[in-house]
Amino acid sequence: MTVIWDDLTEEERTALKRMNRGPYPFLSKALAERLVFLGLAQERPSGTGINRTGRELVIRTLLSARSN
């Protein structure tokens, strides 16, 4: 399943942008599970973190906004 930025809620977008910068301690369990389900994050021993797919989505979106 391919997820695009417009498929995400504002809460999911915010969480991904914050996770892209580092640990996001305020990430709720439900939101973490949703991002994992969407294939944008993964469970790690230290908690849920953004994965390559999620990072690429965030970066692509930020770069696209910058060029507009």
Q: Using one digit for the tens of pLDDT, what is the confidence trace for 11-47?
A: 999 999 999 999 999 999 999 999 999 999 999 998 9
- The b-or-e profile of 24-57 (16+ CB within 10 A means b, else e) is beebeeebbebbbebebbeeeeeebbbbeebbeb
Please tell me the predicted confidence (pLDDT) of residue 65.
82
Please, which pLDDT band fits residue 68 given cuts at 50, 70 and 90? low
Give the predicted TM-score (pTM) of the model: 0.90
Please, which pLDDT band fits residue 50 given cuts at 50, 70 and 90? very high
